[in-house]
Chain A
Amino acid sequence: MADTRSITVTVNGQPYTRTVETRLTLADFLRHELGLTGTHLGCEHGVCGACTVLVEGRTARSCLMLAVQAAGKSIVTVEGIAPSETELHPLQQAFQDNHGLQCGFCTPGMLTTLLEFLGDNPDPTEAEVREAISGNLCRCTGYQGIVDAALDAAKRMRK
């Protein structure tokens, strides 16, 4: 008999109530239960960072959380970053302008991580940006475009 719980989780401002197996990871809950497939699974052991989401404003690896741990909490995923259907957040725009993504698989985790980072450190050095994303693996870009995007976004967001 599967161990289940009924949980209510707010994701990108919207509450969702579901009954889930207690072993379901938050990542799988978001992707398959809620159909928010923007959060990606690259390793399922907490190293690659592709699954990073914001839990109560703080980044967390959603592959290392159970969905039931998110009950009553507020989550922001990559789908919730843009201010509207037609506009991109300055960070997202900076990624496009600076070629900060290629295959796009690591990108959601990069965005949530940088969103938190730039909130804490609005005027970072390049070294600080690299350290901030040191827990996010990218195999396509060599990070340079991502770093440029972060520095560019920081400038735009400071205006």
Chain B
Amino acid sequence: MNFRNVGIVYRKELTEWLRDKRTLISTVVVPLLAFPLLILGFSYLAVSLIGKAEKEAPKIMILGGQDSPQVLSVLSKLKDIEIVPYSSDWKTQISEKQIRAAVDVPEGFQAALERGAEKTVKIYFYEGELKSSIGAGHVEKSLKDYRDEVIKDRLATKNISASVLKPFDIKQENVAPPEKVSGAAFGGFIGYMVILLCMTGAIYPAIDLTAGEKERGTMETILSSPISRMHLVLGKFLLVLTAALATAALSVLSMGTSFAVMRNLGISAQSGRGEAAALLLHLGPKPVALIFTMALPLAVLFASALMTIALFAKTYKEAQSYLTPMTFLVVIPAVASLLPGVELTPKLALVPILSTSLVCKEIIAGTYHWNSMAAIFASSCIYAAAALFIAVKMFQRESVLFRS
């Protein structure tokens, strides 16, 4: 093995890579600018939209209830809603967002209540529409409060204590440290992002260094030099690996900073991302180093596999059409690890991508199963070595290099 030649190829590829505008966009600009803008922009938008919806007094229509003045009085006292007069096209008005909800008080409701008979008050709303849900929620809460009052009055009339309905309390209490709680909730997401970014970061250089070289006509130039094809492919592979890891590292750094900014601006608490922010802020060097260590063989696997596939293509476009579907092969097992109930088992430890994603989840939650980690690292290394071996072999096949 001539490491000098591998190093010469790597340095040259690195120089060209750093001078490529597309590289700067995919590896530096997207992670460092696009992620913060997307995270902050969407969070700000979500917070402002929810806030605006909550501030608006939803228009509610009451259907019937003329013989039930008490319930009408309860509803009319609600400050958060605006009661509008009855109209027969109330369903259309809800669908067209002219009113947010309608309350159907059945005929003889108050009389039935006094008799102790059961009647149902219906709330009609537009499912999936935020402002309609908020309006329906206000109405439901006030009616539940009214129902509780009625129950209390009935019990008082019969000299029964209200506690008879609640003989004992049940309370859940978390004993896990906050970082483990947020790790369980968001740990999978971070592992998933690192894995996915290792893949996406490798795609462009893998194409550029294989099909791109064929298309530009530089493949024959380099093949006429004395460097062996193994050294050539290893030098190229190291650059693709560098790109994959750099993209993942810059992206994680950028996301962490974005969440931190969000937290300081007070956006996170309202948008439900507070835990993610807290998690990223509390991640120490140990879990970060371990995640990247576990992701390393996976990045090697991606770099080798993508180069091998892209080498079959004659042009950049053809390579893109081969590699785009590959993203799904990575996304599916990575997403599977985020599903509730999917946990690391000895069998799953052998499934590439899924096992790494699962172990990242555990690392972030502060659980270090060293035996499982070693097994996953070893199995990923075997897959990575096999992929690298195939890549080297493919570079030695004339039918692949000079496919016409």
Q: Do chains A and B stick together as partners? A: no
Mark A residues whose CB is within 8 Å of B. none
Mark B residues whose CB is within 8 Å of A. none
